[in-house]
Amino acid sequence: MKEGPDIALIGSLIGDPARANMLTALMSGKALTATELATEAGVTIQTASSHLKKLEAVNIVQPQKQGRHKYFTLADEEVGSVLEAMMGLAARRGLVRTRTGPKDPALRKARTCYDHLAGEMGVFLYDGLVANGHLTDTSGEVSITQTGQRLVSEFGINLASLNSSNRPLCKSCLDWSARRSHLGGSLGVALLSRFHELGWARRDKASRAVIFSENGERSFREVFA
Amino acid sequence: MKEGPDIALIGSLIGDPARANMLTALMSGKALTATELATEAGVTIQTASSHLKKLEAVNIVQPQKQGRHKYFTLADEEVGSVLEAMMGLAARRGLVRTRTGPKDPALRKARTCYDHLAGEMGVFLYDGLVANGHLTDTSGEVSITQTGQRLVSEFGINLASLNSSNRPLCKSCLDWSARRSHLGGSLGVALLSRFHELGWARRDKASRAVIFSENGERSFREVFA
DNA sequence: CTCATGGTTCGTTTATGATCGAACTATGAA
DNA sequence: TTCATAGTTCGATCATAAACGAACCATGAG
């Protein structure tokens, strides 16, 4: 009837609680099997199967058979961005599913939020950058200052290549465990991967937890205090 | 049950066809009355009222009473971004509501896509920039080259201020009338408003059409050919 | 081969929510 | 005041789709 892409279809696909749970679980970036997703969503495996079929049909998730398992991931980066944007919108309006954050202390301390650092350490990083005048946050619009650019470059990140990317450089992302902001955007991603490079942190294989070594955490707190 | 913002709620809100139609109509940036939105969505005014109430409750639309009319706009920039992202996702998957683009020739030629230029002229602009090596588009990741930066600066746009914004600088946005890419992102916005400043184009009050003057179109085609 | 486990398909039940008619309130015009 | 238009509320109807039990196919282990 009207012009335009069928926004309603993807909306309704994401709009079902079971599917939303599955997609949220897949935001970790890990590949999950159909049964894992079923328990994540709290439905039987039959229902999960039908949901996944629908998501697959419009290319929101990407299946991959491996033996008798079928692993699912988000189809591409764009799907992740849309989900991230929707989560931001929901969080900023206080629409959280439950008031309790992650129970696992490790998750509460440091975890990945899609692809950047969240949890207490993520909030620490963000607050430190703002407090020292490396970032400015004026009503949600986050930008990097001169001194911030210097700091980041010295830390071994090539800002120029980030700038040209498709993604915003800086983005405040509301943390739904801490209810505080942390740093997303391409800079957030770059920082996290730099932490991995430096051996400061590694990603837990079984969850979204990010585990800092003792030395890593000390250095982290020194640089960004 | 699970951690995280209630992505399902906004999903289902956007997921209803009637509401999706209304929101799409509001993407023009204009304030529309309840009855206008009802006819846009193809439902009676009662149903529209109940839909708008729901959208209002979670702060997706912003009402404003004026006499006996009630005008609605999108609540903020963030809502627009989410919708834009979802439209991109849908369009890239070929999920268009109808195969026919806008019937109005003016709309087909040039119109606003939220806040940047779309339609044939938008596609012309994008293609020109890419063909002359001012933009590079590698699998959806769009970035501006050295010569592109020079061109844009000479055209009177302050790139530095755009770079620090929350939004990606360059973004390819699929045009659902032409099924071709045009330029979104903060650069796309800046270009369109520069066209207005220069008197090349004006926005039609009654629709999303962008109307170029004769001289404006000639200059436009010279610069970006 | 048999058995166990992972996933799919089918059919039925059930609940949610979109829709609209009818009756209502509110603003403005004559 | 009366009339008209804009919007809301309520209630009843109806359709869609989520959920699951049961039976099915596919892969791997012994």
The domain limits of chain B are 7-76, 98-224
**Residue A30 near residue A40 (C-beta atoms within 8 A):** no
Per DSSP, the residues of A98-164 read -S---SSHHHHHSEEETTEEESHHHHHHHHHHHHTTSEEEETTEEEE-HHHHHHHHHTT--HHHHHT
pLDDT mean over A140-155: 84
Query: What's the pLDDT score for residue A98?
Result: 45
Q: Is A88 within 8 Å of chain B by CB?
A: yes
For an interface test with A, give the residue of B1, B6, B79, B174 to mutate (most A CBs within 10 A).
B6
Q: How confident is the model at residue A78 (pLDDT cuts 50, 70, 90)?
A: confident
**Residue B170 near residue B135 (C-beta atoms within 8 A):** yes
Chain B positions in Cβ-Cβ contact with residue A183 (cut-off 8 Å): none
**Cα B78 to Cα A89, A93, B6, B109, distances in angstroms:** 7, 11, 16, 28
Q: How confident is the model at residue A13 (pLDDT cuts 50, 70, 90)?
A: very high
Chain B positions in Cβ-Cβ contact with residue A174 (cut-off 8 Å): 5
- Tens digit of pLDDT for each residue in A94-135? 666 543 344 456 666 787 766 778 777 888 888 888 888 898
pLDDT mean over A39-66: 89
CATH number attached to the domain at B7-76: 1.10.10.10
The Cβ-side half-sphere exposure at B10, using a 13 Å CA radius, reads 29
Give the contacts of A136 (CB within 8 A, at least 6 positions apart). Answer: A130, A142, A143, A145
Specify the CATH class of A7-79 in words.
Answer: mainly alpha
Distance between CA B192 and CA B175 in Å, rounded? 16
**Residue A135 near residue A142 (C-beta atoms within 8 A):** yes
Min Cα–Cα distance to chain B from A215, Å: 30
* HEC letters along A162-205: HHCCCCCCCEEEEECCCCEEEEEHHHHHHHHHHHHHCCCEEECC
Query: What's the pLDDT score for residue A161?
Result: 76
Q: Is B133 within 8 Å of chain A by CB?
A: no
**Residue B161 near residue B193 (C-beta atoms within 8 A):** no
**Residue B203 near residue B112 (C-beta atoms within 8 A):** yes
ipTM exceeding 0.85, yes/no: no
Neighbours of B199 (CB within 10 A): 11
Per DSSP, the residues of B184-195 read EHHHHHHHHHHH
Query: What's the pLDDT score for residue B103?
Result: 46
**Residue A175 near residue A122 (C-beta atoms within 8 A):** yes
Q: Do A3 and B168 touch (CB under 8 A)?
A: no
Residues 34-53 of B with CB under 7 A from strand D: 34-35, 45-46, 48-50, 52-53
B136 pLDDT more than 80: yes
